[in-house]
Structure 1
């Protein structure tokens, strides 16, 4: 299946984690979850349990050298191989991709249409987004199709010629665009207010809901629980320094999140917006702010939506690859055939997602109080991803045995570092995941 170079593995894993979760989800979650309280919790949790879980997935892939299910089977010493049940979490990638590619299609629309017709009023900005969802279904299908086709084409090219080359090009471009936007934001009078909002810690704003939101963001932003990290790590050298690789993934990801927040909140505060505007921040609030900036707003809008596309497409590839590799290894599919069939299923699900947000068809795709889009999001973020993470940490922390895991990590973890990591993995990480899994059962306690 080909192998990553050392730098290629870091870029590919970084590309899988840096997507809409860092640039779209992180700022709006910080906005509605207490600003600095959310950010500080997120930073602490990412640098402790986040790295611990990421390292666990990397070890499974690095030692198993196959697809996610085969990695568990290869490392499981029991004859019945019960840990193959972890393969159920592979469905999370295609399900996430079905709505992720739809949102990327919206961003394509904003890049090529709205960037040249920026709104001058809140009503017009809201109507632009509403028209896209309710009346421009063909634009939605076109954007979704282009994103999914591009993803499938890259995956068909394989590890070296597809995924690695994509990340070698897009990840540096993403950082260049964001550095430029950050420099622009730093010269705005509102930059200090944005900095204060994000980094001044107010302990009284920490609630159980903020804690759960922070935990969920860690999971979402590191691509944990759907086989991506295991799959990518299977293409690394047995002597890879996985701790160094994990740090190279986590720290730039954190930086992108913080930079995105500083840019967006500087713009929001500069032009009288509110940080608590939620998920509509990118599709309603920011276009209106860009529109108030004149010609500079058109340029910044183009750069910003380009950055979102670059970040998103590297993530969509990582959502498709794990199931494709599973079909190749287990059923001897060619890469082309495997990519086609997984993409076909994703395309069908994506059309259901689009129908569920369109006013004319939403009723037929609403179950209970949630749309098909909402169910896909809830199923993956609240169940499949935490469950996949739980499989990984219980397998490494409790099932394989401490001595065997120590042997896997002796070339990159010292004794003291190993003891700290193994304690966090065994005792802290399972509690964190149980909080995420059980939080929907206690809505009144955790808050909406």
Structure 2
């Protein structure tokens, strides 16, 4: 079985881990509710400087450790009993995230094969369609089937190891960009396209608030899957000569491009046919607003909907594969059970947990699956995004910034940080800026919870 990525294969796999619902679903929604251009400008700046810096930090641990998540920390620390071995806690991030992430992709699959051919004519009907599917007991079998299909595709790809992951991303990533650029070119023909451009790029610094800054920082961390162990695990399968700076730049810039394309295209449709107040949060934009927009195009709207949902599905599946891999690699390294068996055993456990998450949204029995006044779906989202990813990212920056010697980092990065000034900027971002940003995000979420 192939054990290492090729140069392009690694970049595509890492790109697949970052381009998912965060870029295509969460970014437009956050832009619409967090100040438009103010949010976009902050997102771009933070992505280029802090996002790239943190990607390199996580890649370094995998590249130099060459093992699974906890063993890579032990390898670099040269101490099997180092407290850093407990970084293995990030391995649960993927399975926890998959319990709701695959459920959402199940909704995408349902909309692809069903709703795209019978698009709603107004927002009331669109909301009823979504509520009926995601909340009603009658539609529960369809939800579970769609959820199971997404997990099965994920498991099949991961079970085939690095070769399977590499092949999947060689197919999905080019198709994803083709689909979204095709949709963008069509959106450019709409009269509302200039309005979409102004909304996303015309500077309005008066809208920059502390809340918008925190939202932009959170979007960068979520969209790049920082702190989940995915990038670290993938980086364990590359050579020591891989240029991490160029790899990180390619991943971040590609993610920025797909985010901006999705935003421009979606807002062009919204401004052309919709009510901007219907953007909403979470599922509102993708599953309620956009179907109505597509419905205005008649038969051609069904084609647009199919293309969009296929692109979203592709992006999501590339991310689900990445979320599952760190856990599987660890278990493969620690047991004598075959990779195929481990993959399907873990996936079965995620499916059972995911069923409970889906049931927590059900209008008839959801109250049995609520804790602290929240559904299991909401709790799994909060645990993943607000705690596991945040603390995983924070500890990785502390490890690279304060535990690994500066001279060692200079040796590791000398082949691509040709200038000492560039190294010092990166080191300052990792040691000072990134930890402070993560503390700000966590403090904001904790304050909101209170």
TM-score under structure 1 length normalisation? 0.97
Q: Does the 8 Å CA contact 2:214/2:444 hold for their aligned counterparts?
A: yes
Aligned to 2:347: 343
Q: 2:145 aligns with which of 129, 142, 146?
A: 142
Q: 1:180 aligns with which of 182, 191, 196?
A: 182
- Does 2:436 align with 1:427? no
Distance, in Å, in 2 between the alignment partners of 1:363 and 1:9 is 44
Q: Does the 8 Å CA contact 2:397/2:435 hold for their aligned counterparts?
A: yes
1:252-284 CA distances to partner (integer Å, 9 max, x unpaired)? 100000000000000000003216422211000
Distance, in Å, in 1 between the alignment partners of 2:329 and 2:266 is 37
CA change 1:377–1:93 in 2 (3 A) is: same
Distance, in Å, in 2 between the alignment partners of 1:137 and 1:232 is 36
Question: Which has the larger displacement, 291-300 or 307-316?
Answer: 291-300
Q: 1:314 aligns with which of 311, 318, 321?
A: 318
Q: Does the 8 Å CA contact 1:56/1:396 hold for their aligned counterparts?
A: yes
Please state whether the residue corresponding to 2:125 is helix, strand or coil. helix
- Does 2:222 align with 1:206? no
Aligned to 1:303: 307
1:108-154 CA distances to partner (integer Å, 9 max, x unpaired)? 00000000000112221111101101221111100000000110011
Q: 1:396 aligns with which of 384, 397, 400?
A: 400
1:307-363 CA distances to partner (integer Å, 9 max, x unpaired)? 001101000000000000000112233201221222122112110110011111210
1:441 deviation in Å?
2.8
1:19-77 CA distances to partner (integer Å, 9 max, x unpaired)? 01100110001001110111111111111111111110000001111111111110013
- Does 2:113 align with 1:112? yes
Question: Which has the larger displacement, 72-81 or 114-123?
Answer: 72-81
Aligned to 2:21: 20
Distance, in Å, in 1 between the alignment partners of 2:99 and 2:227 is 17
How many residue pairs match? The answer is 444
Structure 2: gaps (5+ residues): none
Distance, in Å, in 2 between the alignment partners of 1:309 and 1:208 is 33
Aligned to 2:331: 327
Aligned to 2:56: 55
Q: Does the 8 Å CA contact 1:163/1:317 hold for their aligned counterparts?
A: yes
Distance, in Å, in 1 between the alignment partners of 2:158 and 2:22 is 21
1:292 deviation in Å?
1.2
- Does 2:360 align with 1:359? no
Distance, in Å, in 2 between the alignment partners of 1:238 and 1:402 is 18
1:207-260 CA distances to partner (integer Å, 9 max, x unpaired)? 221111111100111011110000001110110001000011000100000000
Distance, in Å, in 2 between the alignment partners of 1:341 and 1:201 is 50
Aligned to 1:221: 223
- Does 2:180 align with 1:157? no
Please state whether the residue corresponding to 1:46 is helix, strand or coil. helix
Aligned to 1:440: 445
Q: Does the 8 Å CA contact 1:352/1:372 hold for their aligned counterparts?
A: yes
Please state whether the residue corresponding to 1:187 is helix, strand or coil. coil
Question: Which has the larger displacement, 212-221 or 276-285?
Answer: 276-285
Distance, in Å, in 1 between the alignment partners of 2:74 and 2:80 is 9
Distance, in Å, in 2 between the alignment partners of 1:76 and 1:346 is 32
- Does 2:78 align with 1:77? yes
Distance, in Å, in 2 between the alignment partners of 1:272 and 1:337 is 48
Question: Which has the larger displacement, 259-268 or 203-212?
Answer: 203-212
Q: Does the 8 Å CA contact 2:63/2:240 hold for their aligned counterparts?
A: yes
Q: Does the 8 Å CA contact 2:74/2:80 hold for their aligned counterparts?
A: no
Please state whether the residue corresponding to 1:284 is helix, strand or coil. helix
Distance, in Å, in 2 between the alignment partners of 1:312 and 1:386 is 21
Misfit runs of 4+, over 6 Å: none
Aligned to 1:40: 41
Structure 1: gaps (5+ residues): none
Q: Does the 8 Å CA contact 1:17/1:221 hold for their aligned counterparts?
A: yes
Distance, in Å, in 2 between the alignment partners of 1:79 and 1:116 is 57
Question: Which has the larger displacement, 334-343 or 233-242?
Answer: 334-343
1:79 deviation in Å?
5.5
1:177-196 CA distances to partner (integer Å, 9 max, x unpaired)? 11111100111100000000
Distance, in Å, in 2 between the alignment partners of 1:318 and 1:28 is 23
1:398-435 CA distances to partner (integer Å, 9 max, x unpaired)? 10110011111111112221111001100001001111
Please state whether the residue corresponding to 1:404 is helix, strand or coil. helix
